[in-house]
Amino acid sequence: MADELFKALGDRTRRVILDELAQKSGQTLFEICSRLTMKHRLAISRQGVSQHLAVLEAAGLVETRRVGRYKYHDLNTAPLGHITERWPAPSAPAPKEKSP
């Protein structure tokens, strides 16, 4: 799981897609493509975006749901917790009391 997570986060376009889903979850492929083109000036095909979404989904960062003929993409930040669990921040040493 960690390898897929780091692979997914290692690409700038995928990070931009995650940023967009963080701002508005539940987007269709068309909406994501439109935002990437208009807001970020990324020239990427629908197929390219679809492939990026597949990598994000394999890493667990994107979940999909179908409603009728539409497929919606939602951000799932739970896998990011694995990073902090794997390398927890060291706890700060307790302050030493000063003797008078």
Strand partners, 64: 73
Q: How many CB atoms lie within 10 A of CB 95?
A: 6
Query: What share of the chain in percent tops pLDDT 90?
Result: 75
Instruction: Judge contact between 76 and 82, C-beta under 8 A.
Output: no
Cα 29 to Cα 13: distance, rounded to the nearest angstrom: 14
**For the chain, what is the radius of gyration of the CA atoms?**
19
At 35-69, the pLDDT tens digits run 999 999 998 999 999 999 999 999 999 999 999 99
Q: Give the model's pLDDT for residue 68.
A: 95
DSSP state of 87: S
What is the band of 2 on the pLDDT scale with cuts at 50, 70, 90? confident
What is the three-state SS of 53-83?
HHHHHHCCCEEEEEECCEEEEEECCHHHHHH
